Chain A
């Protein structure tokens, strides 16, 4: 019995316990949160939460955060990297395959219609299956701003429209995460909406009416 007590309270055992339940979870978690972008609040959040987790659970809880960081932080980083590369890849592909089928750039009128929908949605991201988004996609495809011959097969389809709406929603000053790479025009139209929402909404309605008549 004495030897068992001596073994349990031996320095190496005490050292392992201190390492596993004291030092290691915090150190491991500090490494894990580096997977998130620097400005992502999850970095601070997870580190703060660690101190509320009972000490006995901390090693397991810290290990669990690896999943969170891989699926949230790393995915966010990879998506941001892909978003930076896609326009270049798409441009190269379109040049090689068919120079006439490049997606035409969004015009001011189109972005105003998109921004008006995001505004009506409380400046939040609109789901791809939202009926208003599908209606907008159809409206943009009907409009005769871009010659039909110049349109790519995915021209203003619900996915393309959803991406533009997300660009606008994430550029809004109240958006909690990181803005997508939405382009100058989206930010310009958003600023116009924020400065004079009623006028811009009326303008969007007049564009919609004009599109319906032609």
Chain B
């Protein structure tokens, strides 16, 4: 996958809670990437097996009546691929601004 600012931002947001479940809206807020860029990136990660997805059960929904949401989880492949990607970006001067921005968000 081509290394872009958005990809690094999404990778850092995902790796901030590598074993947790991630939801579209929260992930967009956390990474600072708008959904028009984030969802296609998530789709490419799914296709490469870096993420797995699922739908929350109704019981998880504390406020009844809302439709179940789709969640994303990092696979082992995804953890190592995104870990490597972030490590590369840390060494790459082009991504220093992204790293600084994510540090402000508490993700770096």
The residues of A with any CB-CB pair to B shorter than 8 Å are: 41-42, 44-49, 51-53, 61, 64-65, 67-68, 71-72, 122-125, 127, 169, 175-177
Contacts and interface: CB of A to CB of B under 8 A. Distances in A.
Nearest to A126: B48
Contacts of B53: 41, 176
B47 A125 contact: yes
A61 B26 CA distance: 12
A47 B55 CA distance: 13
A45 B43 contact: no
Interface of B: 1, 23-26, 34-36, 39-40, 43, 46-49, 53, 55, 66-70, 77
Given A72-B43, A122-B49, A122-B77, A45 B69 contact: yes
A54 to B, nearest CB: 10
Contacts, number: 64
A74 to B, nearest CB: 12
A71 B69 CA distance: 22
B76 to A, nearest CB: 11
Contacts of B69: 45, 48-49, 52
Contact of B36 (A47, A71, A122): A71
B67 A48 contact: yes
Contacts of A169: 47
A51 B67 CA distance: 8
